[in-house]
Structure 1
Amino acid sequence: MNTDTLTAIRLHAANHNLTLISNTPTVTGYNRRYFGSWWKAFEVPASSTCTGPLLVADINEDEYAGLRALVEMCPHDKTSYARAETLVAHDTTGTITAVSPTPQLAYQHHTTTGHLSIRGTRDEQVALASARIARDALRGLLLADGWTLLHASAAVLDGQTVLTFGSKGEGKTTTALALATRGWQLLANDRIFVRPNPHGTLDVLPWPSAAAIGLGLLDALGWFDTARTRVQGGESLHPTQHPDVTRALLEGRRTPLWERDGRREMKVQVFPDQFASWFGLDLATEGRAATVLFPEIDLAASPAASDQCRSLGEEDFMHGATEDRYPDILGLAPTGSGNDHARYAVAAHLAELPHHSFRLGHDLSANADFLAQHLRS
C-alpha cells in the first residue's frame, strides 16, 4: 500500500482509539469534522502504528463490485441498514461482509483481527458510511469497557453535568440548547455514555451525532437567520437533511415541516461543529453527572417547576442490537447498550442524584433564564 496517497485520522474517546485511513481526503475530512468536537479527532500519518481498531474506507469501484459478487453468490441474510436493503454474509473465518446495492457500499469486519473496511463508488456515501461504522466500533469498545448508553441530552457547567431525559417532543434537546445559550457547554443532544468512577460519581461522554432541530425551535433560539444566511452563502448542513427542509430554510419559512403522514417533523440537521462556528456555543468532551431533569413542553405555560412524578425507566437506556436505522450488521456492539451489571450500577447512581421536573413554555429565552437560575441556585 502506498501510504503517500492516503490520509488518516484518529478518534479518541475515554481511553480508546480508532484509526481511519482513506484514499480520499473527503472521507477523513468529513470524519474529522463530524467527530472532532466531541471525540477529539486529529490527523495522523497514514503509516503510523494503530493503537486500536483500523478502519479503511476507500473509493474503489472494482473492489466494491467484487465484494458484492461474493455476497450475492454466498448464503446471506437481508436487512435494512441506513434505509437501504443490505445483504449480510458470514464465512467460516469469522469475516462478516455486507453489501448495499443502492447506494453502492460494501462493508467488511474481520472479527478475529478487528480490521474494518468500506468500499464504495462515491465520496459522500463512503464518508457517511465510515462515520457510522467508526462510531459503532468505538461504541462497542466503550460498552465492553463498562460504559452504558443513555437516551438523554447533556449540558455541562464547571464539569457538573445536567442529564435531561424524556421521550421525543418532551424537551431533551430544547433544555440542553437553552442551557447552552446561557453559558453552559453542550455535551450531547440526544444520547450519552455514562460509567461509574472510583470517586462515587458518574463520568459522562458524548455520543457524536448531527442534531435534529425543528424550524420553529431554530427560530425560537434566534438561529434561523444565521443558518439561512450561511446556507445562502454556499455552506451546507448535514447531508442527511431532507431537501424540503433546506428549501424551507432558504425561503425563510419558519413553521414546522412534517412528513406526508404527519407523524414526524422534518428538521434541520446541524453538524456538531456548527454549534460553535455558526451559533457560538461551547462544546464539552466530558463531564460528571450532577442533576437529572424531566422536562415537559406546554406552549401555553410559563416555565415553572412541575409536580409530575417521573422516574427513570427502561426507555431511558438505549438497548438492543438495533437502534434507529442502524442495526449492528457487523457485530461491533454485541452487548447492545451495556451489560446488565453496568446498567444496574448506573441506575443506582442516577437514583441518588437530585431530580427535577420542569414545565417549559413557548418562550425559549424565558425557558433558558428559568433553567439557568434554578440550576445555579
Structure 2
Amino acid sequence: MTAHAVRLESAGATVTVVSPERAVTDWSARYFGPWWKAAEVPSESVCAGAVVTAAVDTKQYDDVAFSVTQAPHTSTEYARAQLLLAREVSAGAVRAVSPKQALAYRSEPGAGRLDVVGCQTEDVATATARLAREVMRGQLLRDGWAVLHASAVVDESARTVLTFGDKGAGKTTTALALAVGGRVGLLANDRVFVRPNDRGGVDVLPWPSAAALGLGLLKALGWFAEVRERLTAGESLHPTQDRRVTDAIRAGDAMPLWEGGKELKTQVFPDQFPEWFGVPLATEGEAAVLVFPRIEAGATPAVEETSRTVNDADFMSGRTEDRYPDVFGLLGVDGGGAEGARSSVARLLSGLPHHAVVLGHDVRANADLLAKVTGRV
C-alpha cells in the first residue's frame, strides 16, 4: 500500500507524519502549514528522525484496545477523553486506548516513534496532528525553548508584539486588530514558544492551533459574511466547533452564543486566515513590544496606567498543562520548558516597552490605538 508523508520543521526540530491515508497527511499539512513549514516528502526518504505513523484500521484498533484492557493498566484523561495506559517495561514503550474516541496508540520515546490507529479518518487525522505537535514541543523544550500564554503578530522586520492576559482579556482581539490594521503576520493566537537569543533578545516561534473567535468578533472584523458564504458553499471550519455555531452562521445570526457562562465560538483552521481573510501567517520573530489589554463594551480605546509585567502565570508549566499531560513520554522535560529558560525570558521581556490598553468593540478604533502604542508594527 502506498504511504504518504509530510515533514514538519521549526528551529531545527522535525517530525514526519506517515500514513497510507492521504487525508491524514493532508490534515497535518493544512494544520501546521507555513507555521511549521509543512511539506510533502517521499515516504521512502523517512529513515531518520521522529516519526508519527497513522492508520485507519478497525481490526488493528480492536487488537490494540484488547491488549491494553487485558494488561495491567491505569486510567487518565487526555484531550478531554478517558485514556487507558499500559506500559511495556522491557521495551520502554507505552500502549494506550481511548475507547470513546476509538483511538489506540503505541509510543516508543527512545526510538522517536509513535503509532496512531483508529476507526474514523477524521478522528485519526486530528489525533495524529495533536501528537505530532507534542513531538515537536518536546524537541523544542529540550532545546531550551519555553511556552508563553500569549498571542503574537510579526512585521516584515521580525518585530513581534506579544499580547498577554487571562481568558477573555482580549489576546486574540488584539492580535487580529493589528493583523487587519497593518502589514503584519499572525504568529499565534494563544501560545508561543520563546527562547533567549545571543543578541540579548527573545526569539518567538508559533504554537499551531485552531483559533476560537466569538461570533461578535467575527462580525466586527468584517469576516462574518465571508464565513457564511463559504459554509453555505460546502466548506467547513474546525470539527471542534459546536454545531449550534455553524447553524447560527448559516442562518446569518451573529448574536453571541453562550452555554454555562462560556461563549461558544467559531473554530478557525490556521490556513483559513490567509485563504479566507487575507491575514498571512508568520513563522518566527523577535519580541519587541508587550501589550496587556482588557475589553470593555462601549469603551473608547485608550492607554491605561499599570505595573503589570510578565510573571509565572504567563508561562505554561507541567502543573498547568491539564489537557495534554506527557503520558506518552514525548517531552522528557517540564511541559512548559525548563524553569531557567522561563526566568531568563521573563527577565528579558521585562526590559521591553509595556502598554496596558482598554479596547472596545470598534475594530478600526482598536487598530488605530494599537498601531500607535506599538510603533505601527
Q: Same fold (TM over 0.5)?
A: yes
Other-structure match for 2:365: 366
Question: What secondary structure does 2:279 align onto?
Answer: coil
Distance in 2, Cα, partners of 1:252 & 1:229: 10
- Indicate yes or no: 2:334 matched with 1:356: no
247-256 or 313-322, which deviates more: 313-322
| Match for residue 320 of structure 1 among 318, 324, 332 | 318
Contact 1:76 1:87 in 2 (8 A): yes
Trace 1:58-207 onto structure 2 (pairs within 5 A). Answer: 58-92=55-89, 93-157=91-155, 158-182=157-181, 183-207=183-207
Structure 1 residues 14-25: aligned runs within 5 Å: 14-25=11-22
Q: Secondary structure at the match of 1:47?
A: helix
1:69 alignment partner, SS class = helix
Tell me which amino acid in the other structure corresponds to 1:329.
Answer: V
State the Cα distance separating 1:309 from its structure 2 match. Answer: 2.7
Q: Indicate which of 24, 28, 50 corresponds to 1:31.
A: 28
**Distance apart, 1:324 and its partner CA:** 5.0
Matched residues in 1 for 2:372 and 2:345: separation? 28
Instruction: Report the counterpart of residue 239 of structure 1 in structure 2.
Output: 239
CA shift, 1:314, in A, is 1.6
Matched residue type, 2:53: V
Distance 1:38 1:266 in 2: 26
Distance in 2 between residues matched to 1:111 and 1:43, nearest whole Å = 24
**How many residues align structurally?**
372
Q: With structure 1 as the length reference, what TM-score do the two structures score?
A: 0.96
Q: Which one of 283, 286, 290 corresponds to residue 281 of structure 2? A: 283
Residues 318, 325 of structure 2: 8 Å contact kept: no
Decide whether the 8 Å contact of 1:105 with 1:121 is kept in 2: yes
In the alignment, the residues of structure 1 paired with residue 227 and residue 327 of structure 2 have an alpha-carbon distance, to the nearest angstrom, of 35
Q: Which residue identity is paired with 2:277?
A: F
Amino acid at match of 1:253: D
Percent identity among equivalent residues?
52
Separation of aligned partners in 2, 1:225 and 1:292: 32
Deviation at 1:374, TM superposition (A): 2.6
SS at match of 1:373: helix
Q: CA deviation at 1:328?
A: 2.3
Matched residue, 1:345: 344
Measured against aligned partners, the alpha-carbon deviations of 1:299-333 in whole angstroms (never above 9, x if no partner) come to: 23101100133122221001116625322221212
Of 49, 52, 70, the residue aligned with 1:52 is 49
**Structure 2-normalised TM-score?**
0.96
Q: Name the amino acid aligned to 1:276.
A: P
SS of aligned partner of 1:255: coil
Secondary structure, counterpart of 1:254 in structure 2: coil
Instruction: Tell me if structure 2 keeps the 8 A contact 1:322–1:328.
Output: no
How many angstroms does 1:116 deviate by?
Answer: 0.7
**2:150–2:191 Cα contact (<8 Å) kept:** yes
Structure 1 letter corresponding to 2:138: G
1:237 shift after superposition: 0.4
* Greater displacement, 141-150 / 102-111: 102-111
Alpha-carbon contact 2:81-2:101 (below 8 Å) kept: yes
For residues 19-60 of structure 1, give each alpha carbon's deviation from its aligned partner in whole angstroms, at most 9, with x where no partner exists.
110010010001000001310100000110344201101111
- Give the Cα separation in 2 of the matches to 1:161 and 1:128: 29
User: Which 4+ stretches in 1 moved above 4 angstroms?
Assistant: none
Q: Which amino acid letter does the alignment assign opposite residue 87 of structure 2?
A: H
SS in 1 for 2:212: strand
Judge conservation of contact 1:16–1:52 (CA < 8 Å) in 2: no
The SS at the match of 1:229 is helix
Deviation at 1:62, TM superposition (A): 1.8
2:266 corresponding residue in structure 1: 268
Q: Which residue of 2 aligns with 1:256?
A: 256
Q: For residue 83 of structure 1, report the CA deviation from its aligned partner.
A: 2.3
* Aligned match for 2:9, one of 8, 12, 15: 12
Alpha-carbon distance between aligned partners in 2 of 1:240 and 1:44, rounded to the nearest angstrom: 29
Is contact 1:19-1:50 (8 Å) kept? no
Judge conservation of contact 2:237–2:267 (CA < 8 Å) in 1: yes
- Tell me how far apart the structure 2 counterparts of residues 281 and 50 of structure 1 sit (CA, whole Å): 36
Q: Secondary structure at 2:44's aligned position in 1? A: coil
Q: Which runs of 5+ in 2 are unaligned?
A: none
Instruction: Output the CA distance in 2 between the equivalents of 1:316 and 1:94.
Output: 34
CA deviations 1:330-376 (Å, max 9, x no partner) are 12123210011111111111111111111111211110111113322
Letter in 2 for 1:177: L
**What stretches of structure 1 of length at least 5 have no aligned partner?**
none
